[in-house]
Amino acid sequence: MDSQVLAEKTAEERGIVQRKRKRKRKSELNIGEVEAQQYHSGILKKVTNVHKDLISKAIKVGCIQDKKEYNGSSSSIKTVENKSVCAEGSSAVRLSECVNRVCSNDWNRPRLCQIDSETYIIPNNSTFLLSDFRHHKNMYPRTNMEKYDLIVLDPPWQNKSVKRKKMYGSLKDEDLLDISMEDLAAPGCVVVVWVTNRMKHIKFVKDTLFPRWSVTCVAEWQWLKITKFGEMTQDINSDHKKPYEMILIGRYNEFKLSYKEWTAPSPTNKTKREKECYKIPACDWKSGITDLCGEGISNDEGPCEAIGATGNKKKELGSFPESYVIISVPCALHSNKPPLIEVLKRYLKDDPRCLELFARNLWPNWTSLGNEVCTSWPVKQLFIPLFS
């Protein structure tokens, strides 16, 4: 530092004009960044308060592990290691027979299906199309009675991180405009879109996509991700990555569109094979399957009681709270979202027809479309810890 001062003094005495290096001024936030900052500042306080309140209650009733007492072991993992599911007598198909083809399990109980070298559980009364977005129109209902009461979308939104790491294929926002909600949605259908925290995507859904689909945005919820100790997975004040994701919810209004009688598209020779539905054949189960009973796994002969319980009295649908926070420990598998049916069923009619686009899982009584829709959950995944 002294040599720099001496050099400047010498140069001044000799009449030499030195060029001073200009310091880079910290770049100011652009309009989009300012807008995002303002938007998320309103969410921050709400999410923080909900987290503090709910976690304190969870600790009192013992639902959250005490980090100080944690010894690295998990009794639940030890219990599940000794359980097994029989794959004997299960149906076997080649992966090529399932791709771009509608497949379904019409039984009221799950099925085991071997696809190539892996065995998968196909939930009861589930239908799926293992395909990319280009074939989404193969899932369009043939009649108005088959239209959906709940449609959930988890698009692979574009961002720099995904592009750089090449983690998975992404979609341009404009590609979603190709979805015809008029052909998919029943009157009053609930439309749910998972969105990243980037303002570009949030504004696109609210200002462009929903109006194009004749959907009115009724709620903006957040999914807060926590660890098993109840801590947020990220610093909530970070400008780069938040511990929550946005859930935009709307209702379809069929009367916003001019009436158009719906007719099923006539399949070309190329798509006729894709339209044929593959039925999952019957398979044998060991009595040990009772150990895995729970939501979506049933050992009885009837439909899963958790979904589809009906009564003669017409159900009155509740109004969506404009603001709501869902808190859970995220799955260790990349980009898997928590199931929303239990949270949303109070706003749906009994026995709703449910569709998930860009799905990564199969659910009982749901129709799912995605290029990872069943192959990301082989049976062996049930016996490793998925939540951390």
Partner residues linked to 366 by β-bridges: 354
Confidence band of 160 (pLDDT split at 50, 70, 90): low
Separation between Cα atoms, residue 343 and residue 326, nearest integer Å: 9
| Per-residue pLDDT at 200 exceeds 70 | yes
Confidence band of 361 (pLDDT split at 50, 70, 90): confident
Specify if 273 maps to a domain: no
Specify if 66 maps to a domain: no
Q: What integer is the mean pLDDT of 317-343?
A: 86
Q: Given the structure tokens 């309009």, which residue do they identify?
A: 31
**Nearest residue to 275 (alpha-carbon basis) of 260, 285, 286, 265:** 265
Specify if 10 maps to a domain: no
Structure tokens belonging to residue 302: 């009837």
In this prediction, residue 158 carries a pLDDT of 82
Residue 368, domain CATH: 3.40.50.150
Q: What integer is the mean pLDDT of 111-128?
A: 84
Ranges of beta strands (E only) in the chain are 91-93, 102-105, 111-115, 118-122, 126-130, 148-153, 185-195, 215-225, 244-252, 278-279, 323-328, 354-357, 366-370
- Say which residue, 218 or 22, is predicted with more confidence: 218
Q: What integer is the mean pLDDT of 304-309?
A: 32
Confidence band of 27 (pLDDT split at 50, 70, 90): low
pTM here is 0.73
Specify if 267 maps to a domain: no
Structure tokens belonging to residue 214: 């004749």
Using only the alpha carbons of the chain, give its radius of gyration. Answer: 26
Which range, 13-17, 317-321, 341-345, is most confident?
341-345
In this prediction, residue 106 carries a pLDDT of 87
Specify if 242 maps to a domain: yes
Half-sphere exposure for 29 (CA within 13 Å, toward CB): 9
Confidence band of 318 (pLDDT split at 50, 70, 90): confident
**Contact yes or no for 29/40 (Cβ under 8 A):** no
Q: State the DSSP string of 22-34.
A: PPPPPPPP-HHHH
Tell me the pLDDT tens digit for each residue of 266-292. Answer: 444 334 434 455 565 544 333 332 333
Specify if 264 maps to a domain: no
Percent of the chain at pLDDT above 70? 64
Helix, coil or strand: residue 138? helix
Structure tokens belonging to residue 44: 């921050």
In this prediction, residue 366 carries a pLDDT of 94
Q: What integer is the mean pLDDT of 200-210?
A: 96
Q: Given the structure tokens 């398979």, which residue do they identify?
A: 283
Confidence band of 234 (pLDDT split at 50, 70, 90): very high
Structure tokens belonging to residue 247: 């859930």
Burial of 385 (0-12, 13-18, 19+ CB in 10 A): exposed
Q: Residue 155's domain spans which residues?
A: 35-59+124-259+300-307+318-381
**Contact yes or no for 185/254 (Cβ under 8 A):** yes
Q: What integer is the mean pLDDT of 172-195?
A: 94
Specify if 68 maps to a domain: no
- Residues 261, 267, 271: CA angle, nearest 5 degrees: 145
- 291-328 in b/e form (b: 16+ CB < 10 A) is bbeeebbbeeeebbeebeeeeeeeeeeeebeeebbbbe
In this prediction, residue 169 carries a pLDDT of 60
Q: How many domains does the chain have?
A: 1
**Contact yes or no for 233/172 (Cβ under 8 A):** no
Specify if 274 maps to a domain: no
**Contact yes or no for 256/188 (Cβ under 8 A):** no
